A and B are shown apart, each in its own frame.
Chain A
Amino acid sequence: MAVDRHHWFVRLTHWVNAVALVIMIGSGLQIFNAYPMFARRGETFCCYPFAGKPIPHWATFGGWLAGARNWHFAMMWLFVLNGAAYMIFIYLHGEWRDLVPRRGDIRDAREMIKYYLFVRRRHPHQGKHNALQKGAYFALPILAALAVITGLAVWKPVSLAPLTNLMGGYVYARYWHFLVMLALVVLSVVHIFMIFTVDPYSIRSIVTGKYNPERAPELRDGRPFYHLVRRERSDADAET
């Protein structure tokens, strides 16, 4: 029996965000390629090992510097407005309760890690999301906000000089903006990997809203690539 899992507003903002984020990152990398390093002219930069190496063409969007800038500065509005709409919605509608950390989440996350590393045999009990997933979903909006703030510091280093200076100047603001982007990419890649290898059934829930709770990873003892189909448990291993 399928139940409702994601409100249509959450589904809509999720997919708008996915598109906006891909375009923001692709155009950002195209812009980066105009000067694929961080050092101020006449100086060196401590912390970027790939200075001078452009990002591969396939990962870029916008075609050329001006094209990418125009996409970046247009898509940022969709990204910001959509993100704000999502946050306001989950605040008013109550979904935030499934996402904010609670006491016990650290312990639960530790249990999840043990479970994924095969140290623990049975899937820990969970609410709507498991503790690791919850942590990731909580971190994503924070990272998105940081991406916007560091982006503003790079965009307006004179008009918003106090903000840019707070980040250590233009060069570092640009570096933090890049690192926040990397963190978003890593989390998103892990997110998509886990969706496809642990709970592909949930894709239905972020498209149509419906979810079959009998296929929940917790009931299947699902790990990446493991137990994608539910097996009937024998009574012998019903309890750990």
Chain B
Amino acid sequence: MQRRDFLTATGGITTAWLLAACGSRGPKGADKLLKYAMRKNETLERGLFRHTSMDSPSSRWRNAGTALPKYYISDTVPVWDPAVRGTWTLEVSGLVKNPLTLTMDMLQKLPRITQRVNHFCVEGWTAVETWTGCRMSDLARAAGATPDAHYVDFQSFDNDYHESWDIESAMHPQTLICYGLDGRMLEAGHGAPARLFSPVKLGYKNTKYLTKIVFMPKRNGGYWSDQGYEWYAGT
């Protein structure tokens, strides 16, 4: 092969390959490999996870306040209307010794935590907020979750949105069932009457408009996880 041919060929192949890659989704056949990597990453992430690793935003960072986006999947802001749906309750069931049906009053009687933490969105933004609620671990203790409960599903009335979690992340001391934000009761845009919120998972894992918490032996995916986003989504 002539030197010039060789140069042309190398340059040509590289350029073609780069052009083919531009804006592309990548080869379809790679999906299996990507899934494999996702599983391996999950093992690593769960290995790194510690209940003692806490999120603590600097006091210099301003609270997002009204700049906190309001995400939901229904066409309009999901609002719990007692006239239509009856009194809102939070059901705790599945692998528990005593299933609970909690009213807002009962929920607020559980030890109250207020914490200032980061919100990590999968999109790459963060927002500092002050949340009030009870620890998920206290709720699990109250319901008597059994040792074979390795996963927890958090379900909502927002068009059946749900996301399931590994039990370790659900029991993290900063994982709360929240009914207050920035010193006020939670408003509809942020998931009223109550929502899950923890800095240890990306935003989409933190189910808003919460109605049911189900302890499970196996995971059962979730709204965004079923569409290709990481199921673990830990921070």
Residues of B near A71 (CB, < 8 A) are 26, 30, 34
- Interface mask (A8-33 → B, CB under 8 Å = 1, otherwise 0): 00000000000000110010000110
| Interchain CA distance A60-B24 in the complex, whole Å | 7
B191 interfacial contact with A, CB 8 Å:
no
A144 interfacial contact with B, CB 8 Å:
no
Nearest chain A residue, comparing its CB with the CB of B228: A66
Nearest chain B residue, comparing its CB with the CB of A201: B3
Segment among B60-68, B150-158, B209-217 that sits at the interface with chain A = B60-68
In the complex with contacts A42-B67, A156-B48, A200-B7, A70-B123 CB distance below 8 A: no
- Interface mask (A37-48 → B, CB under 8 Å = 1, otherwise 0): 000111100000
| Interchain CA distance A116-B47 in the complex, whole Å | 52
In the complex with contacts A26-B21, A31-B124, A71-B34, A42-B45 CB distance below 8 A: no
Among the interface residues B3, B119, B227, which one has the most CB atoms of the partner chain A within 10 A?
A: B3
Instruction: Identify which of B26, B45, B199 contacts A67 (C-beta below 8 A).
Output: B26
Query: A62–B122 contact, CB under 8 A?
Result: no
Instruction: Identify which of B56, B228, B234, B235 contacts A70 (C-beta below 8 A).
Output: B228
Query: A158–B199 contact, CB under 8 A?
Result: yes
In the complex with contacts A26-B21, A63-B25, A71-B34, A41-B57 CB distance below 8 A: no
| Interchain CA distance A61-B18 in the complex, whole Å | 11
Nearest chain A residue, comparing its CB with the CB of B174: A158
In the complex with contacts A77-B37, A160-B48, A42-B65 CB distance below 8 A: yes
Query: B125–A35 contact, CB under 8 A?
Result: yes
- Interface mask (A51-65 → B, CB under 8 Å = 1, otherwise 0): 000000111111111
Query: A42–B64 contact, CB under 8 A?
Result: yes
Query: A34–B61 contact, CB under 8 A?
Result: no
Q: Whole-angstrom distance from the CB of A229 to the nearest CB of chain B?
A: 11
Residues of A near B235 (CB, < 8 A) are 156-159
A-B contact count (CB 8 A): 140
B165 interfacial contact with A, CB 8 Å:
no
Nearest chain A residue, comparing its CB with the CB of B120: A157
Residues of A near B53 (CB, < 8 A) are 158-161
In the complex with contacts A40-B62, A40-B127, A65-B123, A158-B54 CB distance below 8 A: yes
B87 interfacial contact with A, CB 8 Å:
no
Query: B7–A203 contact, CB under 8 A?
Result: yes
| Interchain CA distance A158-B45 in the complex, whole Å | 11
B229 interfacial contact with A, CB 8 Å:
yes
Segment among A121-129, A168-176, A230-238 that sits at the interface with chain B = A168-176
Instruction: Identify which of B34, B62, B200 contacts A158 (C-beta below 8 A).
Output: B200
Number of interface residues of A (CB under 8 A): 44
Residues of A near B128 (CB, < 8 A) are 40, 42
Q: Whole-angstrom distance from the CB of A225 to the nearest CB of chain B?
A: 15
Query: B23–A60 contact, CB under 8 A?
Result: yes
Nearest chain A residue, comparing its CB with the CB of B10: A203
Q: Which of A120-166 contact B (CB under 8 A)?
A: 156-161
Query: A159–B124 contact, CB under 8 A?
Result: no
| Interchain CA distance A174-B125 in the complex, whole Å | 10
Query: A61–B50 contact, CB under 8 A?
Result: no
Query: B124–A41 contact, CB under 8 A?
Result: no
Instruction: Identify which of A43, A57, A66, A70 contacts B23 (C-beta below 8 A).
Output: A57
Residues of B near A26 (CB, < 8 A) are 21-22
Q: Which of A184-211 contact B (CB under 8 A)?
A: 196, 200-201, 203-204, 207
Instruction: Identify which of B69, B122, B227 contacts A41 (C-beta below 8 A).
Output: B69
| Interchain CA distance A129-B66 in the complex, whole Å | 57
B: residues with CB less than 8 A from A are: 3, 6-7, 10-11, 18, 21-26, 30, 33-34, 36-38, 40-41, 45, 48-50, 53-58, 61-69, 118-128, 199-200, 224, 227-230, 234-235
Known: A64-B25, A67-B25, A171-B126. 10 other contacts (CB 8 A): A35-B125, A41-B67, A61-B21, A66-B224, A71-B26, A157-B120, A160-B48, A161-B56, A196-B11, A204-B3
Lowest 7 CB-CB distances: which A-B pairs, in order? A63-B25, A74-B37, A41-B127, A42-B67, A42-B64, A34-B123, A41-B64
24 A–B contacts from the bound complex (CB under 8 Å): A22-B21, A31-B124, A34-B124, A35-B124, A40-B128, A41-B64, A41-B67, A41-B119, A42-B65, A42-B128, A43-B62, A58-B23, A63-B23, A63-B24, A65-B123, A70-B228, A71-B26, A156-B235, A157-B55, A159-B48, A161-B53, A170-B118, A174-B124, A203-B6
